[in-house]
Every structure is written in C-alpha cells, then in structure tokens.
Chain A
C-alpha cells in the first residue's frame, strides 16, 4: 500500500477530486496548508509572498493503483489551456510514501 500526498492549487481541487471519482477513487482526506516551493514564493511588485495557500489531498491505495492515480492528479492539476500544456510554477507536487498497515476502526480489521 502507498500513501499519496498531493499538494495542489486550491482552485484545481474540485477538478482533481472529480477526475479521481471518475476513476473510482472516492476515499481521501483533504486539508488546507500553506507552503512554498524552490522559487521561495512569488514577488508581486514590491510585495513578497513567501507562503501560498494550497490544498493537500491524502489518498491511500494498493500498489497497483498508484501509478494511475498519480497520472490522473498530474494531468488534472496542471494548469494551462491545452491537454499538453507544460503547466506553471506553483501547480504543486505529489509525494508517494509507503504504508505498512491499514486498519478500519469500525471493524478493527487489518486490510
């Protein structure tokens, strides 16, 4: 099992969730976070914004479903007008980490 953490733009969240739903992925946790990337925020005129609001999605999936989910998130969270757009700075990142065990609290079962 793997844990996918996708840090995406708040305005693309709805689009990503819808795309995941269409691919049969319903279970997820989301939280609003702030952060910055290697560009250290953005500068607008004389004002420097060092932290930008983002949305983080956490999804746990079996190993074989991970690559598909990552591609779905990647394509839908990338900004731009065309499907083959190269995107913009600040579109976000996706991290995939291991999950050893998963338990459902209701039944106590290990899954």
Chain B
C-alpha cells in the first residue's frame, strides 16, 4: 500500500478529480494548503515596462547626439522583473492505493496537471503500513476496496 501526496494548482483540482475517477480510483482527500517550491516563491519574468522605458530613453539620447546607433543590441537588453509571491494557495490530494495502481495514478496526475511552467506541483509516494475501514473494521487491502 502506498500513499500518494500530490500538490497541484487550485484550478486543476476538478479535472484531476474527473481523471482519477475515470481510472477507477474513488477515494481521494483534498486539502487546501499553501506552499512554495525550490524558487522560494519568487518568479522571474521579462518586464515589458522596463524595456519600453529603456527604448524611449535611448531615442532621447540619440536625439541629443549622445549615442550614435540606437539599434545597437546592447541598448536593448530585456529587463527582468522579480516577483516575491511567498506562499501560494494550492490543493493537496491524498490517495491511498495498492502498489500496482501507483504508476497509473502518478501518470494520470502528471498528464492532467502539466502546463510546463514553474508551480505545476510535485507528487510524493510514501509507504503505508495499514489501512482500516472504520465502518466495518476491515483491514489492509480490503479496506481500500
């Protein structure tokens, strides 16, 4: 038995739920969490404002005769902007499944949640020693079905 902990984007929770349903896994627990990854909550994007402002000033400098060639690429370096986002809201899925189901579940979650950008999330697979169904007291594999 394994426990799959998947931390995913909020807006992908519903599609993930449907996809997991369709491969026959019914028991899922969703938790609202906040978190951050390796980048420590910072995002780096090209800053269009910065480049624009720089271009305007280059033209001004050119008009005043301070630089010769305004098309020179070294005057057009895109400025990067850093955003401090800190902890972002995410959803955490908790699924307990038999060992043979794990690769399929991991594959499904990965396929549904991949956008190729930072912040897609992570999946952890942990060992589970025992499972008990509270209603009947069944243990182990029986409790999962």
Q: Which A residues have a C-beta under 8 Å from some C-beta of B?
A: 3, 21, 26-31, 58, 60, 97-106, 108
Does the CB pair A26–B122 fall under 8 Å?
no
Does the CB pair A30–B117 fall under 8 Å?
no
Which of the residues A26, A97, A98, A106 comes within 8 Å of B40, measured between beta carbons? A26
Q: Report the nearest A residue to B35, measured CB to CB.
A: A29
Task: Report if A26-B124 is in contact (Cβ < 8 Å); known contacts: A103-B110, A106-B118.
Answer: no
Enumerate chain B residues within 8 angstroms of A102, measured Cβ to Cβ: 122-125
Helix, strand, loop or mixed for chain A's interface?
strand
CB distance from A88 to the nearest CB of B (A): 26
Enumerate chain B residues within 8 angstroms of A27, measured Cβ to Cβ: 35-38, 40
Enumerate chain B residues within 8 angstroms of A29, measured Cβ to Cβ: 7, 33-35, 90, 92
The tally of residues in B whose CB lies under 8 Å from a CB in A reads 36
New A-B pairs, 9, CB < 8 Å, besides A31-B32, A98-B127, A105-B110: A27-B35, A29-B33, A58-B33, A101-B123, A102-B123, A103-B106, A103-B122, A106-B116, A108-B114
A-B CB contacts (within 8 Å), total count: 79
Does the CB pair A31–B34 fall under 8 Å?
yes
B51 within 8 A of A: no
- In the bound assembly, the distance between CA atoms of A29 and B94 in angstroms comes to 14
Which among B40, B110, B124, B127 has the greatest number of chain A C-beta atoms within 10 A?
A: B124
Does the CB pair B33–A31 fall under 8 Å?
yes
Task: Report if A99-B124 is in contact (Cβ < 8 Å); known contacts: A30-B35, A106-B116.
Answer: yes
Does the CB pair A3–B34 fall under 8 Å?
no
Does the CB pair A106–B117 fall under 8 Å?
yes
Does the CB pair B109–A105 fall under 8 Å?
yes
Which of the residues A3, A30, A100, A108 comes within 8 Å of B33, measured between beta carbons? A30
Among all A-B residue pairs, the 7 with the closest Cβ atoms: A26-B40, A29-B35, A106-B120, A105-B120, A101-B125, A103-B123, A31-B33
